[in-house]
């Protein structure tokens, strides 16, 4: 047992040292291998004009902030409210669409934390009259772990939680209950230029006002969602 | 030769398409006679609805699960409201073809009786056919359960009733709708639909 503990401690120490070395290694945000040490520059002759400074060998130096903008689309989850809306003559509401803006700050090269503002919406059309519409705005705290698999490709896993308001408009009246919001998903990020990337992501959104108006119904903007977006790092 | 064969093939295909269009897809024929959503308020009740039995406090306009979605609430026993009918429509009516769908909730042990007046709009051959059809509805206390019932005639039509003739065709209109509540609790009705539903013919034509 004592030997096992010692081995475990040694393994942790090795991983810590290796992680520190990786964290300190130069390279861009996508984990490019560090450039070899530059040859020592020859002494400049007296009177010779100063040489232009070398171009930054790191195309994306360690960023201090990342901005993500995404558009999302996904199927709705079938709730009791949808059945009632159908019995009242509304068509099925098939999809939730929306967009979000996320700001992330690096805690480590692989770990980012920040906040997301998200908008989600869905509608119920009706053949013989005005349709109904629901949209929600939420603010979530978010954390994302990134793994660079190549200089131009990263995978990310993220979770977030927060809350917001969902507003449902029906027959020109609006009800706006509060709703908790959670998100979890994965992201594939492809670098397209210095400091700029595009990404696709698949996530589960939980954004639902339970038992709104004491009706026994949940007003839901939840569901699986696919999104595409852009990310800018500075 | 090949061209002539092609022409016949095209004609056959056209005939199949025309036959399909003429015969329909075998789905029931649904003709809406009344749709009442109780959405617009006039005084204390939805527009065109009046209390014909009971105390005024027993019938009121209320919102349901959303402030923009309304209904009529009937409370206590022996309360009846009367609402509008519809416009004349060319329909074929057979026994059991008049169907009602009620979207609403009731406390346990309550019942709603829906009656409609059905009257032939005009008939040059004699006095118009007219009758009252009714059905008892038993809505649950759950909004997402609709109650579908067949309205049956309380007396026969002039021609001997639905049972002796397969169809009575003509211009009919619903002259009015009454909803009578019995039981001690309350019921809220958000939507009432009266349809004439004819089953598809076996041959689809």
CB-based contact, A213 to chain B, within 8 Å: yes
* DSSP string over A34-54: PPPPPPPPPPPPTTPPPPPPP
- Inter-chain touch A88–B69, beta carbons under 8 Å: yes
Q: How confident is the model at residue A7 (pLDDT cuts 50, 70, 90)?
A: low
Residue pair A226/A72 in contact (Cβ under 8 Å)? The answer is yes
- pLDDT tens readout for residues A80-134: 899 889 988 899 999 999 999 999 999 998 999 999 999 999 999 998 888 999 9
- Inter-chain touch A84–B144, beta carbons under 8 Å: yes
- pLDDT tens readout for residues B13-25: 555 555 555 555 6
d(CA B118, CA A202) in angstroms, rounded, equals: 56
Looking at per-residue pLDDT, the higher value among A89 and A199 belongs to A199
Predicted local distance difference test score (pLDDT) of residue B120: 79
Select the residue of B39, B67, B142 nearest A175 (Cβ to Cβ): B67
CB-based contact, B37 to chain A, within 8 Å: yes
Q: How many CB atoms lie within 10 A of CB B51?
A: 18
Looking at per-residue pLDDT, the higher value among A122 and B184 belongs to A122
pLDDT at residue A52 tops 70: no
Please tell me the distance in Å from A78's CA to the nearest CA on chain B.
12
β-strand pairing of A111-124 with A95-106 = antiparallel
Residue pair B118/B98 in contact (Cβ under 8 Å)? The answer is yes
d(CA B32, CA B53) in angstroms, rounded, equals: 28
The torsion of the CA quartet A213, B78, B135, B48, rounded to 10 degrees, works out to -70
Q: Identify which of A195, A140, A142, A191 has the alpha carbon closest to the alpha carbon of residue A162.
A: A140
pLDDT at residue B159 tops 50: no
Q: How confident is the model at residue B63 (pLDDT cuts 50, 70, 90)?
A: very high
φ, ψ at A118 (rounded to 5°): -130, 145
- Asked if ipTM goes beyond 0.85, one says no
Q: How confident is the model at residue A36 (pLDDT cuts 50, 70, 90)?
A: very low
- The region of weakest confidence among A32-46, B61-75, B145-159 is A32-46
Continuous H helices in chain A:
2-24, 80-87
Predicted local distance difference test score (pLDDT) of residue A26: 42
pLDDT, mean of residues A170-198: 95
d(CA B205, CA B202) in angstroms, rounded, equals: 8
Please tell me the distance in Å from B36's CA to the nearest CA on chain A.
10
Predicted local distance difference test score (pLDDT) of residue B14: 58
Please tell me the distance in Å from A225's CA to the nearest CA on chain B.
26
CB-based contact, A171 to chain B, within 8 Å: yes
SS3 state of residue A130: coil
CB-based contact, A89 to chain B, within 8 Å: yes
Predicted local distance difference test score (pLDDT) of residue A214: 82
Residue pair A209/A218 in contact (Cβ under 8 Å)? The answer is yes
Q: For residue A230, what are its two tokens?
A: 């852009």
CB-based contact, B144 to chain A, within 8 Å: yes
pLDDT at residue B167 tops 70: no
CB-based contact, A83 to chain B, within 8 Å: yes
**What CA–CA distances, in Å, run from A66 to A27, A88, A115, A196?**
17, 46, 11, 10
pLDDT at residue A208 tops 70: yes
pLDDT, mean of residues B85-109: 86
Predicted local distance difference test score (pLDDT) of residue B133: 87
The mean pLDDT of chain B is: 81
CB-based contact, B5 to chain A, within 8 Å: no
- pLDDT tens readout for residues B110-145: 999 999 988 877 666 666 677 788 999 999 988 877
A120 strand-pairing partners? A98, A136
Q: Which of A87, A128, A134, A166 to mutate to test the interface with B (most CBs of B within 10 A)?
A: A87
Enter the pTM of the model. 0.72
The mean pLDDT of chain A is: 82
Select the residue of B35, B68, B146 nearest A87 (Cβ to Cβ): B146
Give the residue from chain A lying closest to B70, CA to CA: A171
- Inter-chain touch B191–A87, beta carbons under 8 Å: yes
Q: For residue B58, what are its two tokens?
A: 């027993």
SS3 state of residue A87: helix
Looking at mean pLDDT, say which of A35-44, A134-143, B4-13, B91-100 comes out highest. A134-143
Select the residue of A80, A88, A215 nearest B103 (Cβ to Cβ): A88
Query: How large a percentage of chain A has pLDDT more than 70?
Result: 74
Please tell me the distance in Å from A72's CA to the nearest CA on chain B.
27
CB-based contact, B188 to chain A, within 8 Å: no
HEC profile for chain B?
CHHHHHHHHHHHHHHHHHHHHHHCCCCCEEEEEEEECCCCEECCEECCCEEEECCHHHEEEEECCCCCCEEEEEECCCEEEEECCCCCEEEEECCCCEEEEEEEEECCCCEEEEEEEEEECCCCCCCCCEEEEEEEECCCCCCCCCEEEECEECCCCCCCCCCCCCCEEEEEEEEEEEEEEECCCEEEEEEEEEEEEECCCCCCC
């Amino acid at each position: 047992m004592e030997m096992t503990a010692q081995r475990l401690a040694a393994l942790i120490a090795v991983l810590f040292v290796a992680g520190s070395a990786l964290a300190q290694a130069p390279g861009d945000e996508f984990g490019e291998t560090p450039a070899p040490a530059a040859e020592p520059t020859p002494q400049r002759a007296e009177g010779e004009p100063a040489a232009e400074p070398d171009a930054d060998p790191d195309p994306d130096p360690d960023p201090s902030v990342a901005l993500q903008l995404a558009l999302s689309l996904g199927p709705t989850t079938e709730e009791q409210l949808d059945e009632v809306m159908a019995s009242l003559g509304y068509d099925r509401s098939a999809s939730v669409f929306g967009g979000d803006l996320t700001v992330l700050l690096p805690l480590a090269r692989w770990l980012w934390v920040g906040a997301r503002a998200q908008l989600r919406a869905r509608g119920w059309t009706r053949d013989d009259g005005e349709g109904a519409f629901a949209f929600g705005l939420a603010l979530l705290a978010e954390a994302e772990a990134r793994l660079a698999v190549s200089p131009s490709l990263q995978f990310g896993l993220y979770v977030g939680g927060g809350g917001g308001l969902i507003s449902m408009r029906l027959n020109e009246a609006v009800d706006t209950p509060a709703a908790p919001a959670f998100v979890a998903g994965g992201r594939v990020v492809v670098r397209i230029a210095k400091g700029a990337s595009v990404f696709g992501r698949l996530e589960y959104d939980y954004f639902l006002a339970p038992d709104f108006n004491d009706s026994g119904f949940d007003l839901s903007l939840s569901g699986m969602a696919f999104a595409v977006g852009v990310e800018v790092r500075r | 030769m090949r061209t002539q064969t092609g022409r016949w093939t095209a004609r056959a295909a056209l005939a199949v398409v025309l036959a399909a269009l003429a015969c329909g897809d075998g789905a029931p024929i649904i003709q809406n006679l009344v749709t009442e959503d109780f959405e617009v308020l006039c005084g204390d009740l939805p527009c065109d609805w009046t209390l014909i039995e009971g105390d005024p406090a027993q019938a009121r306009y209320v919102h349901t699960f959303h402030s923009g979605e309304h209904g009529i609430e009937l409370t206590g026993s022996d309360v009846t409201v009367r609402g509008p009918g519809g416009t004349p429509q060319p329909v074929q009516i057979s026994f059991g073809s008049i169907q009602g769908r009620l979207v609403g909730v009731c406390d346990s042990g309550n019942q709603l009786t829906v009656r409609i007046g059905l009257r032939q709009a005009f008939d040059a051959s004699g006095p118009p056919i007219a009758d009252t059809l009714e059905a008892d509805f038993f809505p649950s206390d759950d909004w997402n359960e609709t109650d579908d019932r067949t309205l049956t005639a309380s007396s026969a039509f002039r021609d001997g009733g639905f049972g002796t003739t397969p169809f009575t065709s003509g211009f009919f209109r619903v002259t009015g709708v009454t909803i009578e509540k019995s039981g001690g609790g309350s019921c809220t009705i958000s939507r009432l639909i009266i349809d004439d539903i004819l089953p598809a013919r076996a041959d689809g034509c």
